[in-house]
Amino acid sequence: MTHLALLTARDSNADLFLKLAFASGIMVAGLEIGYLLYSPLPYDPVGYLVGRDFANTWLGGRLALTGDPGAHFGFRAYNTALIEAFGPDYPAHIWSYPPHFLLLTWPLALMPYLTAYVVYSALGLLLYLAVVTDGDRRADHLLLLVLAPAAIVNIWCGQLGFLVAALLVGGLVQLDRRPILAGVLFGLLSIKPHLGLLIPLMLVLAGRWRTIAAAAVTILLLVTAAGLAFGPRVWLAYLGDAMPVQSGFLLRDVEHWMAHVPTAFMNARIAGLPIAAATVAQAMLSAAAIAGVVWTFWRRRDPVLSNALVIIATFAVTPYVFNYDMVVFGFVVITLLGRTDNEAWDYWLLLAVWVVPFLTVPLGMAGIPASCLPIVALGGRLLWRLQRASREVPGRLPTGGGSGGRIGQVPLANS
């Protein structure tokens, strides 16, 4: 096949991916709009406020303004506060965020709920777009990111996907340019610590000591600030009241939301396996994810593929990550789209991961344990591409071509 024919095939595959990705996003957006039109606003048909989980963020801000939010971290106390705020029939929630999360969100409680939800969603989306596009604001990429099923699901759930993606991607992007800033962003990611589990490992392997120090200082300052703002008992309440309830939901009461969780553990539970077997399945995938990160960052490798791999591994290593957290995969998609070495398989795997945030729910409800498979497959493919790139260009760090070679350059281990 000639060079021109190869370029034509790649362009054709990329064009097909974009068409299908846009179509899936429009479909998911249409379903959400239809759901809202059917809803008795400001509630949805099952009694949640529009924005669902944003009720936690907004109420947490109100509790922070009392000066003693920890008094409400227990299940009964928290749901009593929900009932007082939203009515006697409001569905049960749990408080799951660490106390320093309240330092970032309390201003939202100064607004009415729906106003705060709109502001929160809009600002989160704008921050996400600014960080992920990294100054290369192509119209098609911006539209693609806005219409991503994960972005739509995140808005519908009123969740932290935009903020978490901005912190994780921002840290990766700034690692070379501003290592201290990267550490601060990684430290802020501790508001959802399970989504940063592999960051310390990656930083150690890469010898990023200034970034590690900045992250550690940031976390220490956040923990101290929360203790000063709300009293040291807030941390005792979080560890003694909130975390046991969260762990109990993960292990026992998963039927209510396990269809939203594309992990090996939850897929095994959907398949009907007992907790012990599901734990073994998750442990095996977690070990593989850790090994993949160690192999990738042990030496200098392709920076774009390496960044994509650590994001994929983050979702493989934990049993507890939701479909709305997959907003960060928008970064993976647009950076990989900028490469010149993609093959048809790469586009189909990207498309499969692209639609997982929506399909994980119908798959789970149907009892089909498959939502984690596209993530695992893409991770395996990235490892294969990293190995091929290392073999083809020994001793040199490839750029990958296109915008993907510019975003998130990460000099790797022992450099």
pLDDT per residue as tens digits for the range 90-118 = 988 889 899 999 999 999 999 999 999 99
For the cut 70, the answer to whether the pLDDT of residue 406 exceeds it is no
- Beta-carbon contacts of 77 under 8 Å, excluding residues fewer than 6 positions away, are 71, 241
User: Rounded to 10 degrees, what is the CA torsion of 317, 323, 329, 333?
Assistant: 120
Q: Is residue 225 part of a domain?
A: no
Mean pLDDT rounded to a whole number for the chain:
89
User: How big is the CA angle at 260 (ends 115 and 134), to the nearest 5 degrees?
Assistant: 60
Supply 356's token pair: 């997982």
> Are 169 and 328 in contact, with CB atoms under 8 Å apart?
yes
Q: Is residue 187 part of a domain?
A: no
Q: Residue 49: helix, strand or coil by DSSP?
A: strand
Supply 96's token pair: 């799951």
Supply 327's token pair: 């907003």
Q: How far, in Å, CA of 120 to CA of 58, rounded?
A: 10
Q: How far, in Å, CA of 280 to CA of 260, rounded?
A: 20
Q: Which of 172-176, 331-335, 361-365 has the lowest mean pLDDT?
A: 361-365
Residue whose structure tokens are 């398989």: 345
What is the count of structural domains for the chain? 1
**How do residues 305-342 score in pLDDT, each as one tens digit?**
999 999 999 999 999 899 999 999 999 999 999 898 99
- Closest by CA to 282, choosing from 101, 290, 28, 411, is 290
Confidence of residue 8 (pLDDT cuts 50, 70, 90): low
> Are 306 and 410 in contact, with CB atoms under 8 Å apart?
yes
Q: What is the per-residue pLDDT for 256?
A: 64
Q: What is the per-residue pLDDT for 39?
A: 85
Residue 43 DSSP label: B
- Beta-carbon contacts of 210 under 8 Å, excluding residues fewer than 6 positions away, are 179, 180, 183
Other CB atoms within 10 A of residue 142 CB = 14
Q: Which of 43-52, 120-129, 214-223, 404-413 has the lowest mean pLDDT?
A: 404-413
Confidence of residue 404 (pLDDT cuts 50, 70, 90): very low
Whole-number percent of the chain with pLDDT over 90: 74
Q: What is the per-residue pLDDT for 19?
A: 95
> Are 155 and 144 in contact, with CB atoms under 8 Å apart?
no
**How do residues 254-303 score in pLDDT, each as one tens digit?**
666 778 899 999 999 999 999 899 999 999 999 999 999 999 999 989 99
Strand partners, 49: 43
Confidence of residue 411 (pLDDT cuts 50, 70, 90): very low
Q: Which of 57-66, 142-151, 156-165, 395-404 has the lowest mean pLDDT?
A: 395-404
Amino acid at 252: R
Confidence of residue 41 (pLDDT cuts 50, 70, 90): confident
Supply 162's token pair: 């935009």
Confidence of residue 400 (pLDDT cuts 50, 70, 90): very low
Q: How far, in Å, CA of 203 to CA of 215, rounded?
A: 10
For the cut 90, the answer to whether the pLDDT of residue 403 exceeds it is no
Q: What is the per-residue pLDDT for 84?
A: 93
Confidence of residue 415 (pLDDT cuts 50, 70, 90): very low
Cis link prior to 42 (omega < 30° from 0)? yes
Q: What is the per-residue pLDDT for 396?
A: 40
Q: Is residue 165 part of a domain?
A: yes
Segments forming the whole domain that contains residue 383 = 9-45+113-181+192-206+244-405
Q: What is the per-residue pLDDT for 398?
A: 38
Q: What is the per-residue pLDDT for 402?
A: 36
For the cut 50, the answer to whether the pLDDT of residue 155 exceeds it is yes
Q: HSE-up of 180 (CA within 13 Å, CB side)?
A: 1
Q: Is residue 310 part of a domain?
A: yes
Q: What is the per-residue pLDDT for 255?
A: 64
Q: Is residue 65 part of a domain?
A: no
Q: Residue 400: helix, strand or coil by DSSP?
A: coil
**How do residues 341-357 score in pLDDT, each as one tens digit?**
999 999 999 999 999 99
Q: What is the per-residue pLDDT for 393?
A: 52
As a whole number, mean pLDDT of residues 3-16 equals 68
Confidence of residue 408 (pLDDT cuts 50, 70, 90): very low
Q: Is residue 71 part of a domain?
A: no
Q: Is residue 51 part of a domain?
A: no
As a whole number, mean pLDDT of residues 163-177 equals 96
